[in-house]
Chain A
């Protein structure tokens, strides 16, 4: 079954498209795809901003992402003839978090929170915070309204779903019973303590035994100091989540033709559907094809073997036909056909499970993309009509 072709240019030319989110598991080429889409949109007249999380060094350099100041900078070398522009920024997770804390509490309390070891651990760790901060930054950029298209590259988490789940997990965590127990003494004094007494005593007892009294005290201080901001955090997370459900948002799922990556893509597609989040399509990255597809792997291998047996009796003779090149070419071709066939089968598997999802294919590039010219090539391939 041939998949529907993703019309990338229509998506980026449509002024109603305000946010494009590139999702997918790690190592599938999300960053490159996001940057290529941003560049193409800018050169087709959009005021585009690319928010990236973890770009390869050389790609970051080529986009001028050398200073980590957490604000979008204009990218040089973009063709602005169409009236567009390209800004790009690399997410500074800790700084984004610090800024929220500073903006939502008085200076004393902010200083207290920033110095707390739990805050420092939370704000600089990779589990969940990066996703939350990426979403927070996206909300900020969208509210700034300086760009008419924001392209987001999601954090390199093991699962594409983390991007959607992490902010909610933080919300659930903040609503959790444990937090209420930890904040209870500060909030309501002893009356609440009495109600919660049994559970609380057992828990603090056990936690003290495992973690030590100081850790528990630090956790309590952190949670209490943070408490006033919790509501704000949750509201912001929910607002950004709603933004992702809004009509101006388009999700692109990026996957390599590998079982794990496509399985992740499948989960993600189903999840988006359940959340009624708008999926624009799948980018199938780094696929292998052959110009000589008319020669099958089996015939190619057989021919290579034929030549190998023919070569042997002539070995001594100087006028022996030089078949080395042909043998190499045929064996190489057979391998390529195998790979291509396998990738095709995996892609078809996805397409038959999700027949309505438009697909754009990007052929594997011989070298990594690390400049605007390379991004332009990827953008062109992404937008090529028909495959």
Chain B
């Protein structure tokens, strides 16, 4: 394998967050595909119980079990890539896992579940269930093949995390758990998880569209993450999703926005292409072009705003036909070409 030079070499846990509606799950899936080059296994984790990954990859609902869902993108010019596995983590399964792994207490765990302990934990102290969920992700990121072969099972783990508004609290497990448990095993567990999340092995990526509210939330989220954790949790890249590329050069865009482009000239061109200007078609198309110019201007403004944060950014195009498996690979290619993976 050649030495790769991507923006996130050394990162083993990619946490992907974003405001609702920005395509967080889609970007997380595309990133997992892009990271899974030949011979590499990548785990894509979902934590919110919505089965978005199963829907994207067109497979049956995911159980609490790591399953292969796709073949990775592969390096440019080479054959297919490695394997993308997926896992839907829920607090209950994560608790059973935790009990078994650390205390060999699976049966007790089931009894606790029946008694409503998990319900109790998620209701009264969401921090506890968050640490179980993030704990599963960090465990997968650190997992070794076996005692003799200490290479990592997964080259990388990509987590489709809770939305921007909740991400700092979700990741700041040691503070959240620490306010409840000063000492004890769960505290120790939280501290172990926190060490991974606060290490350079973890990056928190923000997905946004070039619209005002998602951009504002992204910038607020990045600030909040740094302030809450004293810079210990690292904001990763900004993934601009559903961007509409400009169809004209700057001068023409400006003219389109001002409404100073020549409609008659457009009508002549249309006619040359065999389209008659019935009922002012040229004028209507010109209006659309004006709206496009307005949108591009708005996008540029929002992009400039995002870039003030100084984080690496990637841009993914809007797929007008909707996201399917083929377009996921298209997005993965775009991410790879821009150095995200």
Contacts and interface: CB of A to CB of B under 8 A. Distances in A.
Given A56-B213, A212-B186, A121 B288 contact: no
A325 B21 CA distance: 32
B252 interface: yes
Contacts of A331: 247
B326 interface: no
B185 A328 contact: no
B288 A330 contact: no
Interface string B91-133: 0000000110001010011011001110110111111100000
B208 to A, nearest CB: 11
A259 B322 contact: yes
A268 to B, nearest CB: 14
A206 B289 contact: no
Interface stretch (B37-45, B74-82, B142-150, B262-270): B262-270
Contact of A333 (B116, B288, B322): B288
B192 interface: no
Contacts of B19: 26-27
A16 B103 CA distance: 60
Given A178-B120, A324-B248, A325-B289, A199 B270 contact: no
Given A215-B184, A259-B322, A292-B281, A299 B275 contact: yes
B180 A215 contact: yes
B336 interface: no
A309 to B, nearest CB: 10
Contacts of B117: 178, 203, 207
Interface in B156-192: 163, 165-166, 169, 176, 179-187
Interface stretch (A42-50, A67-75, A104-112, A123-131): A123-131
Interface string B3-16: 00000000000000
A335 interface: yes
B2 interface: no
B17 interface: no
Interface string B307-341: 00000000000001110000000000000000000
A177 interface: yes
Contacts of B124: 118, 121-122, 173, 219, 222
B287 A303 contact: no
A276 interface: no
Given A25-B20, A202-B111, A326-B270, A366 B181 contact: no
B126 A126 contact: yes
A27 B20 contact: yes
Contacts of B269: 307, 321-323, 325-327
Contacts of A327: 269
Contacts of A122: 123-125
Nearest to B211: A368
A211 interface: yes
Given A121-B127, A177-B116, A210-B99, A321 B213 contact: no
Contact of B115 (A203, A306, A336, A338): A203
Contacts of A330: 270, 273, 285
Nearest to A310: B272
Nearest to A256: B21
B117 to A, nearest CB: 6
B265 A214 contact: no
Contact of A212 (B20, B181, B284): B181
Interface stretch (B63-71, B227-235, B291-299): B291-299
A292 B115 contact: no
B272 A210 contact: no
B228 to A, nearest CB: 13
B90 interface: no
Given A210-B186, A331-B247, A335-B320, A366 B266 contact: no
B125 A294 contact: no
Contacts of B256: 325
Interface residues of A, number: 82
B216 interface: yes
Most A C-beta atoms less than 10 A away, residue of B182, B183, B268, B269 = B269
Nearest to A340: B320
Given A120-B179, A126-B165, A206 B268 contact: no
A31 to B, nearest CB: 9
Contact of B185 (A56, A177, A211): A211
B222 to A, nearest CB: 16
Contacts of B184: 210-215
Nearest to A308: B273
Given A173-B119, A307-B272, A332-B289, A158 B322 contact: no
A120 B124 CA distance: 10
Given A27-B20, A295-B275, A307-B269, A126 B183 contact: no
17 contacts: A54-B165, A58-B212, A118-B125, A127-B123, A178-B120, A206-B108, A209-B185, A211-B186, A290-B288, A292-B284, A310-B272, A322-B269, A323-B272, A326-B270, A329-B288, A336-B288, A342-B322
Given A172-B119, A306-B272, 17 more contacts: A120-B179, A158-B48, A203-B112, A209-B185, A212-B185, A219-B124, A256-B21, A259-B322, A292-B281, A322-B265, A325-B262, A325-B269, A326-B270, A329-B285, A329-B286, A333-B285, A342-B322
Interface of A: 25-28, 54, 56-58, 117-118, 120-122, 125-128, 156, 158-159, 169-170, 172-173, 176-179, 181, 199, 202-203, 206-207, 209-215, 218-219, 222, 256, 258-261, 290-292, 294-295, 299, 303-304, 306-307, 310, 321-333, 335-336, 338-339, 342, 366-368, 370
